[in-house]
Amino acid sequence: MNSIVGAVLLASIPAALTVIVKLLHLLTTFQLTVSRRRPWAWAEGAALCVCVALLTYAFGAFSGVIDEGEFCSVKTGRDRPDSIVRNEFPLSTECRWSDGFSVELVPAWINPVLFACLAGVALCVAMAVRAAVEENKEFVHE
């Protein structure tokens, strides 16, 4: 396991706790955000997108991690693969055989969810900056 995957797996623990706390807050108060100010509400959205992305990446990184060769042979009913090719981003673990057959161990939904979360982070940060600028303009004009 390389250092990037290790760091993501380590960061997934606080990310999971953050998502759980956020869900509990939503269920008990029926409010989407903790903050009443719009810039901070958008920042909360960005943080939540980062947490979901970390958890998704950790789930995908653990797909078949115990013994990938054995997992590939069980999944396909073939002998152990000739090679296993890994890619950190987009997340991929592919088992390849010499006859050209290959199988992907990372579930198909992982990378679209990762890209959606990263797009959500970018959108939330942009909206937080916009809301902060608008809030500052309102404060100056009063």
Q: What is the pLDDT of residue 141?
A: 59
pLDDT greater than 60 at residue 81: yes
CA–CA–CA angle 74, 103, 70 (5° rounding): 30
Q: What average pLDDT does range 32-43 have in this prediction? A: 86
pLDDT score recorded for residue 142 = 57
Calculate mean pLDDT across residues 11-24: 88
User: What is the structure's pLDDT at 132?
Assistant: 92
Position 129 scores a pLDDT of 95
Q: How far apart are CA 56 and CA 36, in angstroms?
A: 29
Least confident of 5-14, 18-27, 92-101: 5-14
- Given a cut of 80, whether residue 138 has pLDDT beyond it is no
| In the chain, domain spans | 1-63+107-142, 65-105
Q: If you average pLDDT over residues 79-93, what whole number do you get?
A: 88
Phi first, then psi: give them for residue 74, nearest 5 degrees. -70, -40
The pLDDT of residue 99 is 93
